[in-house]
Amino acid sequence: MYQRLRKILHTVCHSQYQGFVLLALGLLVMSGPVSAKRTLLVMGDSLSAAYNLPSGQGWVALTADRMKATHPHWTVVNASVSGETTSGGLSRMPAALKQHKPKLVIIELGANDALRGLPLELSRRNLQSMIRQSKAAGAKVLLIGMQMPPNYGKAYTDGFVNNYRDLAKQEKTALLPFLLQPIALDRSYFLPDQVHPNAKGQVKLRDHVWPVLKTML
């Protein structure tokens, strides 16, 4: 780079615009390379899709707002869909990766699998395929887990949690074990349905995800 600059300087040294060119080149060197735009892709369900809230109040949108200030070279694409299962996410993953070419993918899926009584092994395979497709496309992965209430039975609830833990370990991805952890025991952070976070709860989720996410940017 500097050899090229020397050649340019030699060419313009006798130019009437010498002072201007030297100043411009100096500023270019000091500023350094411009950071290339990068994309964060979020594949989630209603918990990431700001269910029954204005889209700008969801934790993903709040995270995008924060990143505009802290990491302006990143763009956030929220491809979350209310009611989405791991099977639905898997079916959409190839097109999403091709279209957005993300450098980082957040996968927050699985709760609707449990609500529909889908086998744990099916959820595991789907999540594993999504992780592997993301990594094959050159993206890092943050896997975000959920937990099921005790009435699902100990075998199922333990297996559900272990799916995320074991996959993160096996696939060497980052893991946030439980998205709702900071609000799960305080119902004031939920909408009247007592399932989906309200605007106050969304702020808590943003702040819960951020410490892990920021280390990956």
Instruction: Grade residue 202 by pLDDT with cuts at 50, 70 and 90.
Output: very high
| C-beta separation of 202 from 62 below 8 A | yes
Q: Which residues are catalytic?
A: 46, 193, 196
* Residue 40 bridge partners (DSSP): 76, 104
Q: Residue 46 is encoded by which pair of tokens?
A: 């209603």
For the segment 186-215, the average pLDDT, to the nearest whole number, is 98
> Rounded CA gap, 102 and 74, in Å?
10
> Rounded CA gap, 24 and 67, in Å?
30
Residue 191 corresponds to which amino acid? L
Instruction: Grade residue 7 by pLDDT with cuts at 50, 70 and 90.
Output: low
Q: Write out pLDDT tens, residues 153-185.
A: 999 999 999 999 999 999 999 999 999 999 999
Enumerate domains of the chain plus CATH numbers: 2-31 (no CATH), 38-214 (3.40.50.1110)
